[in-house]
Amino acid sequence: MAKNMNKIEKLIEELCPEGVEFKELGKIAKIKNGKDWKRLGEGNIPVYGTGGVMGYVDTSVYNKPTVLIPRKGSITNIFYLDEPFWNVDTIYYTEIDTMQIVPKFFYYVIKNIDLEKLDTGSGRPSLTQAILDRIQIPLPPILIQEEIVKILDNFVELEAELEAELEAELEARKKQYEYYRGEFFNVKDVEYKTLGEIGSFLRGRRFVRTDIMTEGIPCIHYGEMYTHYNIWAEKSKSFLKPELAKKLRFAHPGDVVIVAAGETVEDIGLGVAWMGNSDVVVHDACFIFSHNLNPKYVSYFLRTRQFHSQIKRYISSGKISSINSNGLEKAKIPILPLYEQERIVKILDKFDALVNDISIGLPAELSARRKQYEYYREKLLTFKEKPITA
Please tell me whether residues 282 and 356 are part of one structural domain. no
Higher pLDDT, 376 or 341: 341
Does any domain span residue 319?
A: yes
Does any domain span residue 178?
A: no
Rg over CA atoms, the chain:
28
> DSSP letters of 338-360?
HHHHHHHHHHHHHHHHHHH-TTS
Q: Dihedral through CA 141, CA 142, CA 145, CA 151, nearest 10?
A: -120
Contact criterion met (CB below 8 Å) for 93 and 34: yes
180-195: per-residue pLDDT in tens?
Answer: 788 899 888 999 999 9
Rounded Cα distance, 200 and 249, in Å = 14
Does any domain span residue 185?
A: no
- Residues whose CB is less than 8 angstroms from the CB of residue 34 and which lie 6 or more positions away in sequence, other chains included: 48, 61, 71, 86, 87, 88, 89, 90, 91, 92, 93
Higher pLDDT, 302 or 75: 302
Between the two ends of the chain, the Cα-to-Cα distance in Å is: 38
Please tell me whether residues 152 and 197 are part of one structural domain. no
3-state secondary structure of 115: helix
In the predicted structure, residue 359 carries a pLDDT above the cut 70: no
Please tell me whether residues 153 and 117 are part of one structural domain. no
Please tell me whether residues 320 and 274 are part of one structural domain. yes
Predicted pLDDT at 148: 93
Higher pLDDT, 2 or 89: 89
The 8 Å CB, 24+ separation contacts for 12-16 are: 12/140, 12/144, 12/383, 15/140, 15/141, 15/143, 15/144, 16/140, 16/141, 16/144, 16/386
Q: What's the length of the chain?
A: 390
Q: Which of 303, 320, 335 is the last residue of a domain?
A: 335
In the predicted structure, residue 367 carries a pLDDT above the cut 80: no
In the predicted structure, residue 364 carries a pLDDT above the cut 90: no
What's the whole-number mean pLDDT along residues 53-72? 95
Predicted pLDDT at 172: 83
In the predicted structure, residue 147 carries a pLDDT above the cut 80: yes
- CATH number at 279 reads 3.90.220.20
Please tell me whether residues 157 and 304 are part of one structural domain. no
3-state secondary structure 269-296: CCEEEECCCCCEEECCCEEEEEECCCHH
Nearest to 206 by CA among 196, 218, 190, 221: 221
Question: 221: buried, middle or exposed (CB in 10 Å: 19+, 13-18, 0-12)?
Answer: buried
208-255: per-residue pLDDT in tens?
Answer: 989 999 999 999 999 899 889 999 999 999 999 999 999 999 999 999
For residue 99, what are the domain limits? 21-139
Rounded Cα distance, 25 and 130, in Å = 10
Strand partners, 30: 95
262-303: per-residue pLDDT in tens?
Answer: 878 888 999 999 999 999 999 999 999 999 999 999 999 999
Rounded Cα distance, 32 and 51, in Å = 18
- Residue 166's pLDDT band, with cuts at 50, 70 and 90, is confident
Q: How many domains are contained in the chain?
A: 3
Distances (CA, A) of 112 to 115, 134, 137: 9, 16, 11
Please tell me whether residues 9 and 146 are part of one structural domain. yes
In the predicted structure, residue 3 carries a pLDDT above the cut 70: no
Task: Please state, rounded to an integer, the average pLDDT across all residues of the chain.
Answer: 90
Q: Which of 105, 139, 173 is the last residue of a domain?
A: 139
Does any domain span residue 186?
A: no
Please tell me whether residues 386 and 328 are part of one structural domain. no
What's the whole-number mean pLDDT along residues 77-95? 95
- Residue 357's pLDDT band, with cuts at 50, 70 and 90, is low
